[in-house]
């Protein structure tokens, strides 16, 4: 298990915080393992912990009344889970499920909220991250409606690669269809198209990204929009 100090300096929301803020954070958090498929929150659960992924990543999924599911955001080392706590609200709005196993920093919700008034740099970053998530939610709604499955699949693979920090991904047709809210046949055709263009290799749930720059070109503009949004929001003085 990695050290708390290393974990803090790996998550992009926590890295390079003032020493006093890092020390206060380190005093009340722990490094915990997250297993693939582990449910972090169910919708309307009371949020008892905030999580900052290190080498894990988590999908935030909306569930409709007929149990249809659709991923709307993803959080890895660039983000956190439990952002509603920043607003003083402790109910989970979405299903949060671990899609990439690894570790995360975990902080009790009450201690996390108590830290914020005396941690202005962290508080400001989290407000900006909340702004980013709001934009991503709106962008996802438009993406689902207007963009082709092939473009959306390319975007999703890039987002996953960024957080997994690996070219090799384990993803079944069924899982991808659920994440993108489409039929399995649509995923099959989209994956085949990307493979025929030499961008990925796909066999029995094993995906290898062969040409990242080509995959960026194949993805809808939502991917570069999200990357630019994050960079600009976090760089703003």
Domain regions of the chain by residue span: 4-119, 148-219
Spatial distance between the Cα atoms of 221 and 237, rounded to a whole number of angstroms: 26
* Fold: same for 4-119 and 148-219: no
Mean pLDDT score across all residues of the chain: 93
pTM for this entry:
0.93
pLDDT over 70 (residue 237): no
Least reliable range by pLDDT among 97-106, 177-186, 226-235 = 177-186
In contact, 105 and 190? CB cutoff 8 Å: no
For 97-114, what is the mean pLDDT?
Answer: 95
Query: Distances from the Cα of 181 to the Cαs of 9, 124, 145, 175, 214, in angstroms?
Result: 35, 34, 11, 10, 24
Task: Report the side by side order of strands in the sheet with 57-63.
Answer: 39-41, 95-100, 57-63, 69-75
Total Cβ atoms within 10 A of residue 36:
12
Q: Specify the pLDDT at position 167.
A: 93
Spatial distance between the Cα atoms of 94 and 41, rounded to a whole number of angstroms: 7
- Summarised one tens digit per residue, pLDDT across range 113-169 is 999 999 999 999 999 999 999 998 888 888 888 999 999 999 999 999 999 999 999
Q: Please identify which residue in the block is written with the tokens 């993406």.
A: 143
> CATH classification of 148-219, choosing from 1.10.10.10, 3.40.50.10490, 1.10.240.10, 2.60.40.3680?
1.10.10.10
In contact, 163 and 227? CB cutoff 8 Å: no
Topology of 4-119 in CATH? Jelly Rolls (2.60.120)
Q: Specify the pLDDT at position 141.
A: 86
Phi, psi of 169 (to 5 degrees): -125, 145
If phi > 0 it is left, if psi is from -120 to 50 it is alpha, else beta; for residue 7 that is alpha
pLDDT over 80 (residue 65): no
By CB neighbour count within 10 A (0-12 exposed, 13-18 middle, 19+ buried), where does 62 fall? middle
Q: What percent of the chain has pLDDT over 90?
A: 78
177 — pLDDT class (breaks 50, 70, 90): confident
In contact, 49 and 107? CB cutoff 8 Å: yes
Q: Specify the pLDDT at position 12.
A: 96
Spatial distance between the Cα atoms of 8 and 11, rounded to a whole number of angstroms: 6
pLDDT over 90 (residue 68): no
Angle between helices 149-164 and 173-180 (to 10 degrees): 110
- Sort strands 30-34 and 49-53 into parallel, antiparallel or unpaired: unpaired
pLDDT over 90 (residue 66): no
pLDDT over 90 (residue 40): yes
Angle between helices 184-196 and 149-164 (to 10 degrees): 80
| Token pair recorded at residue 114 | 């108590």
């Amino acid at each position: 298990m990695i050290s708390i100090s290393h974990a803090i300096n790996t998550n992009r929301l926590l890295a390079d915080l003032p020493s006093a803020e890092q020390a206060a954070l380190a005093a009340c958090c722990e490094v915990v393992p997250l297993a693939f498929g582990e449910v972090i929150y169910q919708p309307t659960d009371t949020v008892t912990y905030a999580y900052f992924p290190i080498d894990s990543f988590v999908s935030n999924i909306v569930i409709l009344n007929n149990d249809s599911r659709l991923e709307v955001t993803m959080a890895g080392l660039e983000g956190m889970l439990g952002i509603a706590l920043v607003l003083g609200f402790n109910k989970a709005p979405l299903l949060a499920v671990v899609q990439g196993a690894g570790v995360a920093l975990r902080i009790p919700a009450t201690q996390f909220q108590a830290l914020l008034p005396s941690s202005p740099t962290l508080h400001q970053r989290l407000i900006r991250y909340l702004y980013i998530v709001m934009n991503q939610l709106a962008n996802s709604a438009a993406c689902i409606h207007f963009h082709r499955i092939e473009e959306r699949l390319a975007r999703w693979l890039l987002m996953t690669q960024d957080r997994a920090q690996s070219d090799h991904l384990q993803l079944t047709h069924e899982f991808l269809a659920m994440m993108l809210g489409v039929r399995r046949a649509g995923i099959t055709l989209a994956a085949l198209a990307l493979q025929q263009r030499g961008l990925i290799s796909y066999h029995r749930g094993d995906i290898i990204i062969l040409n990242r720059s080509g995959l960026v070109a194949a993805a809808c503009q939502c991917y570069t929009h999200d990357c630019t949004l994050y960079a600009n929001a976090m760089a703003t003085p």
